[in-house]
Structure 1
Amino acid sequence: MSITLEARPSQHYESSSTGIPKATVDPVFQVIRRNGSVTPFDASKISVALTKAFLAVEGGRAAASRRVHETVDGLTSQIVVALTRRGVQERTFHIEEIQDQVELALMRGEHHKVARAYVLYREERKRERAAETAAPIPTMPSISVKSKDGSLAPLDAARLRKLIEESCAGLADVSAEAILSETQRNLYDGITRDELADAPVLAARTLIETEPNYTFVTARLLMDKLRREALSFVAGRTDEARQSEMGERYPEYFRAFIAKGIVADLLDPELARFDLDRLGGALKPERDGIFQYLGLQTLYDRYFLQTHGIRFELPQAFFMRVAMGLALREIDREAKAIEFYDLISTFDFMCSTPTLFNAGTPRPQLSSCFLTTVPDDLDGIFKSIKDNALLAKYSGGLGNDWTRVRGLGAHIKGTNGESQGVVPFLKVANDTAIAVNQGGKRKGAVCAYLETWHIDIEEFLDLRKNAGDDRRRTHDMNTAHWIPDLFMQRVAEDGQWTLFSPDETPDLHDLYGTAFAERYEAYEEKAERMEMKVARRVRAVDLWRRMLTMLFETGHPWITFKDPCNLRSPQQHCGIVHSSNLCAEITLNTSNDEVAVCNLGSINLVAHVTNDGVDFDKLERTVKTAMRMLDNVIDINFYTIPEARRSNLRHRPVGMGLMGFQDALQALRINYGSEEAVAFADTSMEAISFHAISASVDLAAERGRYPSFDGSLWSQGILPIDSIELLKSARGTDLRLDTSSTLDWDGLRDRVRTTGMRNSNTMAIAPTATISNICGVAQSIEPAFRNLYVKSNMSGDFTVVNPFLVRDLKARGLWDEVMISDLKYFDGSLGAIDRIPEDLKALYATAFEIDAHWLVDAAARRQKWIDQGQSLNLYIAAPNGRKLDALYRLAWERGLKTTYYLRSQSATHVEKSTLKGTDGKLNAVSSSVHHSAPENIEAMAGKACLIDDPTCEACQ
Structure 2
Amino acid sequence: MPSAAATQTSPQNGVHHEPEFKFEQEAARSEPGFRVIRRNGGVTPFDPSKITVALTKAFLAVEGSTAAGSRRVHDVVEELTEQVVGALTRRGETGRLFHIEEIQDQVELALMRSEHHKVARAYVLYREERARERHADEAVTVEAAAPAGLTMTLSDGSTVPLDEKRLAVVIEEACAGLADVSAETILKETRRNLYDGIRQDELALAPILAARTLVEQEPNYSQVSARLLLDKLRREVLSFIEKRPTEATQAEMFERYPAYFKGFIEAGIEAEMLDPELARFDLDRIAAALKPERDLQFQYLGLQTLYDRYFLHKDGARYELPQAFFMRVAMGLAIREIDREARAIEFYNLISSFDFMCSTPTLFNSGTRRPQLSSCFLTTVADDLDGIFKAVKDNALLAKYSGGLGNDWTPVRGLGAHIKGTNGESQGVVPFLKVANDTAIAVNQGGKRKGAVCAYLETWHIDIEEFLDLRKNTGDDRRRTHDMNTANWVPDLFMERVEADGEWTLFSPDETPDLHDLYGVDFAKAYAAYEEKAKRGELRVYKTLRAVDLWRRMLTMLFETGHPWITFKDPCNLRSPQGHVGVVHSSNLCTEITLNTSRDEVAVCNLGSVNLAAHIGEKGLDFEKLERTVKTAMRMLDNVVDINFYTIPEARASNLRHRPVGLGLMGFQDALQKLRIAYSSDEAVEFADRSMEAISYHAISASTDLAEERGAYASFNGSLWSKGVLPIDSINRVSHARGFNEMDETITLDWETLRKRVKKAGMRNSNCMAIAPTATISNICGVSQSIEPAYQNLFVKSNMSGDFTVVNAALVRDLKARGLWDEVMVSDLKYYDGSVGQIDRIPDDLKALYATAFEMDASWLIEAASRRQKWLDQAQSLNLYLANPSGKKLDALYRLAWRKGLKTTYYLRASAATSVEKSTLKGTDGKLNAVSVEPTVYASAPKACAIDDPECEACQ
TM-score normalised by structure 2 residue count: 0.93
Flag the 1:19–1:907 CA change in 2: closer, same or farther, 3 A: farther
CA offset at residue 561 of structure 1?
0.2
Partner of 1:13: none
Partner of 1:232: 239
* One-letter code aligned to 1:832: Q
Q: Which residue, out of 313, 321, 325, partners 2:332? A: 325
CA offset at residue 78 of structure 1?
2.3
Partner of 2:836: 830
Q: Give distance in 2, aligned partners of 1:154 and 1:908.
A: 50
Q: Give distance in 2, aligned partners of 1:481 and 1:489.
A: 16
Mark the runs of 5 or more structure 1 residues left unpaired by the alignment: 4-16
Partner of 1:598: 605
Q: Work out whether 1:779 is the aligned partner of 2:781.
A: no
Q: Work out whether 1:98 is the aligned partner of 2:103.
A: yes
8 A Cα contact 1:397 1:444, kept in partner: yes
* One-letter code aligned to 1:192: R
CA offset at residue 524 of structure 1?
0.5
Partner of 1:741: 747
Partner of 1:808: 814
Partner of 1:575: 582
CA offset at residue 564 of structure 1?
0.2
Q: Give distance in 1, aligned partners of 2:350 and 2:572.
A: 31
Partner of 1:10: none
Q: Give distance in 1, aligned partners of 2:43 and 2:270.
A: 45
8 A Cα contact 1:906 1:929, kept in partner: no
Q: Give distance in 1, aligned partners of 2:448 and 2:46.
A: 36
8 A Cα contact 1:573 1:711, kept in partner: yes
Give the 3-state SS of the residue equivalent to 1:913 in structure 2: strand
8 A Cα contact 2:778 2:786, kept in partner: yes
Q: Which residue, out of 710, 714, 718, partners 2:725? A: 718
Give the 3-state SS of the residue equivalent to 1:599 in structure 2: strand
Moved more, 816-825 or 285-294: 816-825
- How many aligned positions are there? 927
CA offset at residue 50 of structure 1?
7.4
8 A Cα contact 2:145 2:188, kept in partner: no
Partner of 2:540: 533
CA offset at residue 242 of structure 1?
0.4
Q: Give distance in 2, aligned partners of 1:67 and 1:615.
A: 68
Mark the runs of 5 or more structure 2 residues left unpaired by the alignment: 4-18
CA offset at residue 125 of structure 1?
7.3
Q: Which residue, out of 823, 826, 844, partners 1:820? A: 826
Q: How does 1:642-661 map to 2 (within 5 A)?
A: 642-661=649-668
* One-letter code aligned to 1:291: F
Partner of 1:32: 37
CA offset at residue 144 of structure 1?
1.2
Q: Which residue, out of 467, 474, 479, partners 1:472? A: 479
Q: Work out whether 1:880 is the aligned partner of 2:897.
A: no
8 A Cα contact 2:59 2:73, kept in partner: no
Partner of 1:463: 470
8 A Cα contact 1:229 1:311, kept in partner: yes
CA offset at residue 281 of structure 1?
0.7
CA offset at residue 468 of structure 1?
1.1
CA offset at residue 845 of structure 1?
1.1
* One-letter code aligned to 1:503: D
Q: How does 1:272-287 map to 2 (within 5 A)?
A: 272-287=279-294
CA offset at residue 54 of structure 1?
9.0
Q: Give distance in 1, aligned partners of 2:934 and 2:29.
A: 36
Q: Work out whether 1:851 is the aligned partner of 2:857.
A: yes
Q: Give distance in 2, aligned partners of 1:294 and 1:196.
A: 20
Partner of 2:528: 521
Partner of 1:261: 268
Partner of 1:491: 498
Q: Work out whether 1:795 is the aligned partner of 2:801.
A: yes
Give the 3-state SS of the residue equivalent to 1:769 in structure 2: coil
* One-letter code aligned to 2:879: N
Q: Give distance in 2, aligned partners of 1:21 and 1:160.
A: 31
Flag the 1:239–1:20 CA change in 2: closer, same or farther, 3 A: closer
CA offset at residue 203 of structure 1?
1.0
Q: Which residue, out of 348, 356, 359, partners 2:363? A: 356
Q: Give distance in 2, aligned partners of 1:903 and 1:67.
A: 43
Give the 3-state SS of the residue equivalent to 2:533 in structure 1: helix
Give the 3-state SS of the residue equivalent to 2:729 in structure 1: helix
8 A Cα contact 2:450 2:950, kept in partner: no
Report the RMSD for the aligned CA atoms in angstroms. Answer: 2.7
8 A Cα contact 2:29 2:49, kept in partner: no
* One-letter code aligned to 2:922: K
Q: Work out whether 1:755 is the aligned partner of 2:790.
A: no
* One-letter code aligned to 1:840: L
Q: Give distance in 2, aligned partners of 1:19 and 1:135.
A: 26
8 A Cα contact 1:827 1:909, kept in partner: no
Q: Give distance in 2, aligned partners of 1:320 and 1:801.
A: 30
Partner of 1:109: 114
Q: Give distance in 2, aligned partners of 1:598 and 1:947.
A: 22
Q: Give distance in 1, aligned partners of 2:317 and 2:286.
A: 24
* One-letter code aligned to 1:809: L
8 A Cα contact 1:798 1:918, kept in partner: yes
Flag the 1:330–1:304 CA change in 2: closer, same or farther, 3 A: same
Partner of 2:16: none
Partner of 2:80: 78
Flag the 1:705–1:224 CA change in 2: closer, same or farther, 3 A: same
Moved more, 824-833 or 223-232: 824-833
Q: Give distance in 2, aligned partners of 1:562 and 1:151.
A: 66
Flag the 1:19–1:93 CA change in 2: closer, same or farther, 3 A: closer
8 A Cα contact 1:324 1:360, kept in partner: yes
Deviation track 1:431-488 (CA, whole Å, cap 9, x = no partner) reads 1111111111101111111100001101111111111111111111111011000000
Q: Give distance in 1, aligned partners of 2:481 and 2:165.
A: 57
Q: Give distance in 2, aligned partners of 1:334 and 1:786.
A: 43
Q: Give distance in 1, aligned partners of 2:645 and 2:93.
A: 43
Q: How does 1:217-616 map to 2 (within 5 A)?
A: 217-616=224-623
Flag the 1:365–1:722 CA change in 2: closer, same or farther, 3 A: same
* One-letter code aligned to 1:393: K
CA offset at residue 738 of structure 1?
2.0
Q: Give distance in 2, aligned partners of 1:542 and 1:428.
A: 30
Q: Give distance in 2, aligned partners of 1:205 and 1:548.
A: 41
Partner of 1:11: none
Flag the 1:567–1:65 CA change in 2: closer, same or farther, 3 A: farther
Q: Give distance in 1, aligned partners of 2:527 and 2:142.
A: 84
Give the 3-state SS of the residue equivalent to 1:721 in structure 2: coil
Give the 3-state SS of the residue equivalent to 1:656 in structure 2: strand
Flag the 1:462–1:713 CA change in 2: closer, same or farther, 3 A: same
8 A Cα contact 1:167 1:220, kept in partner: yes
Q: Give distance in 2, aligned partners of 1:52 and 1:844.
A: 43
Q: Work out whether 1:686 is the aligned partner of 2:693.
A: yes
Q: Work out whether 1:768 is the aligned partner of 2:774.
A: yes
CA offset at residue 761 of structure 1?
0.3
* One-letter code aligned to 1:930: T
CA offset at residue 827 of structure 1?
1.3
Moved more, 347-356 or 196-205: 196-205
CA offset at residue 117 of structure 1?
8.6
CA offset at residue 96 of structure 1?
2.0
CA offset at residue 294 of structure 1?
0.5
Deviation track 1:306-363 (CA, whole Å, cap 9, x = no partner) reads 0011000000000000000000111100000000000000100000000000000011
Deviation track 1:792-817 (CA, whole Å, cap 9, x = no partner) reads 11111111111011111111222122
Deviation track 1:580-623 (CA, whole Å, cap 9, x = no partner) reads 01110000011121110000000011000123211111111000
8 A Cα contact 1:829 1:846, kept in partner: yes
CA offset at residue 948 of structure 1?
2.6
Deviation track 1:741-776 (CA, whole Å, cap 9, x = no partner) reads 111111111111111111110000000001111111
CA offset at residue 81 of structure 1?
5.4
CA offset at residue 666 of structure 1?
1.2
Partner of 2:919: 913
Q: Work out whether 1:839 is the aligned partner of 2:839.
A: no
Partner of 1:7: none
Give the 3-state SS of the residue equivalent to 1:255 in structure 2: helix
CA offset at residue 45 of structure 1?
8.4
Q: Give distance in 2, aligned partners of 1:908 and 1:699.
A: 46
Q: Give distance in 1, aligned partners of 2:546 and 2:502.
A: 6
Moved more, 601-610 or 129-138: 129-138
Q: Work out whether 1:860 is the aligned partner of 2:866.
A: yes
CA offset at residue 103 of structure 1?
3.1
